């Protein structure tokens, strides 16, 4: 090989290759760490969204049925809400939907209750909401005072506390609560 040939050859030295490889590995490491951070964030947000949707769906179903409490087109005179004074996480809603003067149908007597991190409805085979921490019903009379007398109930407050299906941080689960009040028109004013 002559001196003239060596000067025209182009290429990378071993040091240049090692430096570029090191820079490439640093960039790859940063990219991978960003990917894992984004993946964890997506998972947390997905679980929080699922929990919120779960709590909202349960609340909508409970409120919808409570609005019908005391519906009595035959004027049979039954009480529209059945309460368990020892358990504030259970309520029974009575409504004469078929107008026969009784509340014997499966859709006419509906009980909601909290059981092992689930909200259940007596007419359904499966729970209406899972990953629930608590369900509470508070009853108020026409003056806005808390009451435990079923015939005096004019307003019902429903509180649901839900949690994510898995842990979302080092501190544990994510929680979300929803509170709603309903004044069933059929219970009087």
> At 181, is the pLDDT very low, low, confident or very high (cuts 50, 70, 90)?
very high
- Is 25 domain-assigned? no
Domain assignment present for 123: yes
- Residue 165 belongs to what domain range? 50-187
Q: What is the DSSP letter of 26?
A: H
Start-to-end C-alpha separation, the chain: 106
Nearest residue to 153 via CA among 63, 100, 79, 64:
79
5 within some domain:
no
pLDDT of residue 26: 96
Are 91 and 81 in contact by the 8 Å Cβ rule? The answer is: yes
Q: Is residue 103 part of a domain?
A: yes
54 with 70: CB under 8 angstroms?
A: no
If pLDDT is split at 50, 70 and 90, which confidence band does 124 have? confident
- Quote the pLDDT of residue 107: 79
Q: How confident is the prediction for the chain on average, in pLDDT? A: 89
d(CA 32, CA 125): 45
pLDDT category of residue 180 using cuts at 50, 70 and 90: very high
Which tokens hold the place of 33? 């760490």
The predicted structure's pLDDT at residue 77? 84
Neighbours of 137 (CB within 10 A): 22
Residue 31 lies in a domain: no
Taking the model in full, what pTM does it have?
A: 0.79
All residues at 6 or more sequence positions from 96 whose CB lies less than 8 Å from its CB, including other chains: 71, 72, 73, 74, 76, 78, 102, 103, 108
Q: What is the pLDDT of residues 22-71, one digit of tens each?
A: 999 999 999 999 999 999 889 889 999 999 999 999 999 999 999 999 99
Total count of domains within the chain:
1
pLDDT digits (tens, 9 = 90+) for 74-114: 888 888 898 888 789 999 999 998 888 888 877 789 999 99
Ramachandran angles phi, psi of 148, nearest 5°:
-120, 15
pLDDT value for 122: 87
In-domain check, residue 10: no
Q: Residue 89 falls within a domain, yes or no?
A: yes
Residue 32 resides in a domain? no
């Amino acid at each position: 090989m002559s001196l003239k040939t060596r000067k025209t050859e182009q290429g990378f030295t071993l040091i240049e290759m090692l430096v570029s490889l090191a820079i490439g590995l640093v960039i790859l490491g940063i990219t991978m760490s960003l990917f894992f951070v984004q993946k964890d964030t997506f998972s947390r947000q997905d679980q929080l969204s699922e929990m919120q949707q779960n709590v909202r769906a349960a609340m909508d179903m409970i409120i919808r049925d409570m609005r019908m409490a005391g519906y009595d087109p035959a004027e049979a005179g039954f009480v529209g809400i059945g309460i368990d004074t020892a358990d504030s996480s259970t309520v029974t809603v009575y409504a004469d939907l078929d107008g026969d003067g009784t509340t014997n149908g499966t859709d006419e007597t509906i009980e909601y209750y909290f059981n092992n991190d689930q909200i259940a409805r007596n007419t359904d085979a499966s729970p209406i909401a899972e990953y629930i921490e608590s369900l509470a019903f508070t009853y108020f009379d026409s003056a806005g005072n808390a009451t435990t007398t079923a015939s005096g109930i004019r307003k019902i407050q429903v509180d649901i506390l839900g949690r994510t299906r898995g842990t979302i941080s080092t501190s544990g689960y994510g929680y979300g609560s929803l509170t709603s009040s309903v004044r069933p028109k059929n219970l009087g004013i």
